[in-house]
Structure 1
Amino acid sequence: MEFAAKRLPKAGNHPSGRKLRRKYSQKATILNTSTFFNRAGMNNFWVKQAFDRFGKPEVRSLSGHVTADLTIVGGGYLGLWTAIRIKENSPSLRVAVVERDLCGAGASGRNGGFVTSYWAKYLSLHKACGAEQAKFIAKGSADAVLEIGAFCKDNRIDAEFRADGWLWTASSAAQIGCWNSLMDELAKHNVRPFEVLDNAAVARLGGTDRNLAGVFEAEAATVQPAILAFGLRSHAVKLGVAIYEHSPMVRLQPTIAPKVVTRKGSITSSKVILAMNAWGAQFPYLRRKVAIVSSDMIATTADAKKLNDIGFTKGAAICDSRMFLNYYRNTPDGRIIFGKSLGHFAFAGQVADRYEGASPRADEVEASFRMLYPMLGSMGVETSWTGPIDRSVDGLPFFGRLEDHPNIFYGIGFSGQGVGPTVLGGKILASLALDQANEWSKCGLVREDVDKFPIEPFRFVGSIVVREALRRKEGLEDRARRADPFTRAVANLAPVGYVPSRRN
């Protein structure tokens, strides 16, 4: 995919410029400054490991007033891929990235390192944007897996990229076959990304016989997520991107030439892109379109011999089919990284300190790990961490212009699956910002008609009620029991998860 090099148009020349100037001349979006200080983020396992191996990068903060052609707020995968795409195709543009902490210290440096495609979400894609676009986006997301591998190889980034696929399992009898409707629909279009495995193969690939069934997608990989983020940062700098870290945005002035204000400086540019992940929910326009929920992870001590003894040597990404998703993989140095979703819900989209530091659910996550790997009882847990996920109703990201402002763009809603899809997101946002009419700027993920969550406090209270119903339902299923009709009905109110919805 190539973009034609193009200068950004002057904001004042936009047809609606006068109207927007009147609308925003006295208005600024004020953000809660305290939410932008990541006091504990540097202690997460992946980031600390990356620092230990390669040292801490030199950083600079935004001080005083500067200008740019385009400013990107957020230095994670989405912001960095977007900056790289723009500079690759329009080298003369002055591109700046403003990051509240250190690039990669947010969700991009805290996830499980799963590089997966959207084939598992084909049914949601089909519903959102039709069969043709669903296939285009899913195919593009599968290509993105290989694209990340090629990027790491070409730029000598040792992000531990292992293209060992994705194992999608059933960890209870109720989950068995939840992939059948998806595979049947894909087969109608002559697409077969998944292979049904027998139980012996599932046990071999996952290193445990506690999974009852599974299918395998070859077009998936795992990475050390923080090293990938730091590699993207380094490459962006080489291309001439100006990166300002430890510079939390405290105010956005959405005038014709938008102005990003930080604690000690400001930057005015023709275009602004918001690539803030969960922190984007600070904007009222986006707040009801995403729900902020934690995902919590643990890392075991390193013991490659024990993993060899149980045959857990392949680097596949693995998850089961529950809404309280168990997701896990091993690492090259002999650890198991194990995570669990659907933790703390944020009231009104406020990303607070409870999404930083050690996981408050570490015991619960470890219990799930022990249930799947009882033979590793002597393998200790070295650390835990938590982080926020920006969940959309349909589990898919969406892109567009903030409140129809011609010069402010956003991407949000990756729902815990952003490592690979942010490659597509960078192409989409770059195309939008460069005013290019192409397959990315017109793709089905550029959409305004996104389902909304209920208003507060109903969303927060409802999320707790649904979560507890899910907890009860899946706990019973783990014991081969069926929940009562009321519990099932409440649990079925949950939005689409990582895997297709199972209404039962």
Structure 2
Amino acid sequence: MKQQAFWLQQALASTDQPAPVPLQGELQADVCIVGGGFTGLWTAIMTQLAQPQWRIVLLEKDLCGSGASGRNGGCMLTWSTKYLTLCRLYGAEEAGRLVAASEQAVFDIAAFCQQYGIDAQLRLGGAVYAASNAAQVGSLTSVLRALDQVGRNRWQALDAAGTVALGGSAALQHGVYSAAAGSLQPALLVRGLLRVARQLGVRVFEHSAMTTLQEDEYVHVHTPHGRVRARQAVMALNAAMPRRFGRLADSVVLVSSDMVITEPAPAIIEQLGLQRGQAVCDLRTFVHYWRSTPDGRLMLGKGGNRIAWGNRLHGYFDQPSAYRGQLQAAMARFFPALAEVPLAQSWTGASDRSATGMPFFGVLPGYRRVWYGMGYSGNGVVQCHLGGQLLSSLLLGQDNAWTRSPLAQGPLAQFPPEPLRWPGAMLVRQAIRSVEARQDAGRPPAWLATRLAALASMAGKADR
């Protein structure tokens, strides 16, 4: 049975939500957006604000926020630590623009929530990256030096006491801090965006899964009980994209990110120094990440666990985490003071990890007036706001930095096809686990494991 993740349960219980309305019958629209997560809702809102007279319809197969947008960790992180990867992929000028845009988006999301009265528990507490073992020390040196050289480095080095004070754990060392970050309750943001979209005139239909997509002089989106005929459409289906559209099958690998959250323990959270809502990450490939909630819980997650064969959305992506025990052990290791605090819930979500670690957008292969965006690679809370800007610009036919961006040219790299992709990904995953386990133990990793683990570096969480 499908489990609603903790955040969506909270959001549905704490806000006055209208009953979901499925699509019945036929509608005419200027734009039909399929997918009611961050990307679809930001795109709908930005487009409707730019063209108030347009008829925009959004379809969601379940409830808005039931996918990755409502079950991620809620860490508002930027592309600044991926600057070297951005330079390699897109050139220095575009890399600098994207870093600046991602940092500005943090504050733009906060301003939007304030303007429209969205209580997403958003706190601009910044972000901390720090080493959790000796092998990770110096991992960010190259990228921070490169940011310094172009005057874009908003990170500041922390001493040992500062790292522990801001990171909340004595297991961390050699931390850096940026104020251009924070955290939020992701499902509250999704449901708030849903409310604003409807207020602006966007017609949203939940429990309205797309069954077929056709194109002639119009785009026709069919659901079990209705159809939308639109001039343009956007597919914002996140992890469902590669299975629905085979030409994108090799563009991403679906990897689980698993999370646990404690019962409230506000006194301990304050003792740890995490009450500001700062997002904290260590510097391993399969990163640990954590942040507090305003009611004094601690959420801790870790990426890189299950990998889906053939990019199938297996049932385990909608179930309590199979890694709950390991996450609880990590919680106790990083935060001994929380070891006896009960866990409220664990959950799992699918991350569509691209071969470059960056999202990509463009015209859906085989269509002329259907756009898409995907591949956020586990770093989309802030970046989906940028995706909304890009997709809205495409819908509006604008000639600007977003429509000219290499991000709008589709995937720049591919994974091997099945049956090679899954066993290859599992081999690399096991190598990374081996390397990181030995590093945690203060032992040198095996040569072969190190070489295999390096294959994941292009799509790493941060530039090393």
TM-score, normalised via structure 2 length: 0.97
Determine if contact 1:256/1:407 at 8 Å carries over to the other structure.
no
Aligned-partner residue type, residue 112 of structure 1:
G
- 5 Å-filtered alignment, 1:182-197, equals 182-197=143-158
- Whether the 8 Å contact between 2:360 and 2:411 is mirrored in structure 1 is no
Contact 2:358/2:459 (8 A) holds in 1? no
Match of 2:307 in 1: 345
Alignment of 1:376-455 (within 5 A): 376-403=338-365, 405-448=367-410, 450-455=412-417
Structure 1 unaligned blocks of 5 or more: 1-38
Q: CA deviation at 1:215?
A: 0.7
- The reply to whether residue 136 of structure 1 matches residue 132 of structure 2 is no
Aligned equivalents of 2:368, 2:459: Cα separation in 1: 32
User: Which amino acid letter does the alignment assign opposite residue 435 of structure 1?
Assistant: G
Q: Which one of 135, 158, 168 corresponds to residue 174 of structure 1?
A: 135
Q: Note the 1:232-271 alignment, pairs <5 A.
A: 232-271=193-232
Aligned to 2:71: 110
Identify if the C-alpha distance between structure 1 residues 255 and 379 changes in structure 2 by more than 3 Å, giving closer, same or farther: same
- Give the Cα–Cα distance (whole angstroms) in 1 for the partners of residues 129 and 311 of structure 2: 30
Q: Per-residue deviation at 1:268?
A: 1.4
1:384-443 Cα deviation digits (max 9, x unpaired) = 110100101111111100116320101111011111111111111011112111121112
Specify the code of the residue in structure 2 equivalent to 1:47. L
Structure 1's 255 and 224: CA in aligned 2 closer, same or farther, altered over 3 A? Answer: same
1:265-306 per-position Cα deviation (integer Å, ceiling 9, x unaligned): 221111110111111112112111111111000010101012
SS at match of 1:424: helix
Query: What is the aligned counterpart of 1:330 among 281, 288, 292?
Result: 292
**CA distance in structure 2 between the aligned counterparts of 1:420 and 1:498, rounded to whole angstroms:** 17
SS of residue in 2 equivalent to 1:342: strand
In the alignment, structure 1 residue 458 sits paired with structure 2 residue 403: no
Matched residue SS, 1:158: coil
- Match for residue 223 of structure 1 among 181, 184, 195: 184
Contact 1:393 1:495 in 2 (8 A): no
Judging changes above 3 Å, is the alpha-carbon distance between structure 1 residues 500 and 53 closer, same or farther for their aligned structure 2 residues?
A: closer
CA contact (8 A) 2:274 2:291 kept: no
Matched, 1:364 2:311: no
Greater CA drift, 172-181 or 432-441: 432-441
CA distance, structure 2, for counterparts of residue 311 and residue 69 of structure 1: 49
8 Å Cα contact 2:85/2:463 also seen in 1: no
State the superposition RMSD in angstroms. Answer: 1.3
Superposed displacement of residue 449, structure 1: 5.2
Q: Which moved more, 1:251-260 or 1:465-474?
A: 251-260
Aligned match of 2:119: 158
Q: Which amino acid aligns with 1:221?
A: G
- Deviations along 1:328-366, one digit per CA (max 9) or x if unpaired, are 001110100000101111112211212102111111111
- Other structure's SS at 1:216 match: strand
State whether residues 82 and 463 of structure 2, in contact with CA within 8 Å, keep that contact through their aligned partners in structure 1: no
Residue in structure 2 matched with residue 29 of structure 1 by the alignment: none
2:26 paired with 1:65:
yes
Equivalent in the alignment of 2:446: 484
Q: Is the 8 A contact 2:7 2:186 kept in 1?
A: yes
Q: Any stretches of 5+ residues in structure 2 without a counterpart?
A: none
Letter in 1 for 2:10: Q
**For residues 385 and 168 of structure 2, what CA distance do their matches in structure 1 show?**
31
Secondary structure at the aligned position of 1:243 is classed as strand
Matched, 1:319 2:281: yes
Q: Distance between the aligned counterparts of 1:56 and 1:134, measured in 2? A: 40
Q: Which residue of 1 aligns with 2:268?
A: 306
1:7 paired residue number:
none
In structure 2, the CA distance between the partners of 1:134 and 1:197, relative to structure 1 (3 Å rule), is same
Q: Does the aligned pair in 1 maintain the 2:362–2:409 contact within 8 Å?
A: yes
**Aligned residue pairs, count:** 463
Q: Look up the equivalent residue of 1:148 and give its one-letter code.
A: I
Letter matched to residue 50 of structure 1? A
SS at match of 2:91: helix
What residue is the counterpart of 1:11 in the other structure? none
Alpha-carbon separation, structure 2, partners of 1:495 and 1:447: 23
Equivalence for 1:293: 255
Q: Secondary structure at the match of 1:111?
A: coil
Please state how far the C-alpha of 1:498 moved relative to its aligned partner.
4.8
How far apart, CA to CA, are the structure 2 residues paired with 1:495 and 1:459? 17
SS at match of 1:445: helix
CA deviations over 1:243-269 (Å, ceiling 9, x no partner): 011111122123341211112222111
Letter in 1 for 2:428: V
Distance (Å, rounded) in 2 between the aligned partners of 1:209 and 1:118:
27
Spell out, residue by residue over 1:17-46, the C-alpha distance to the aligned partner (whole angstroms, 9 max, x if none).
xxxxxxxxxxxxxxxxxxxxxx625x2110
Deviations 1:49-69 (A, max 9, x none): 112211433211012222211
Per the alignment, residue 204 of structure 1 pairs with 165
TM-score normalised per structure 1: 0.90
Report the AA paired with residue 246 of structure 2: P
**What secondary structure does 2:290 align onto?**
strand
Change (3 A) 1:59 1:45: same
Contact 1:274 1:411 in 2 (8 A): yes
Secondary structure in 2 matching 1:343? strand
SS of residue in 2 equivalent to 1:409? strand
Paired residues of 1:323 and 1:497 also in contact (CA < 8 A): no
Q: Distance in 2 between matches of 1:347 and 1:295?
A: 16
Provide the residue aligned with 1:31 in structure 2: none
Cα gap change, 1:161 to 1:500, in 2 (>3 Å): closer
SS of the residue aligned with 2:408?
coil
Percent identity reads 37
| Residue identity opposite 2:190 in structure 1 | A
Q: Which residue of 2 is the match for residue 80 of structure 1?
A: 41
Partners of 1:262 and 1:189 lie apart in 2 by 50
CA contact (8 A) 1:183 1:194 kept: yes
SS in 2 for 1:192: coil
> Is the alpha carbon distance of 1:477 and 1:90 closer, same or farther for their aligned partners in structure 2, counting shifts above 3 Å?
same
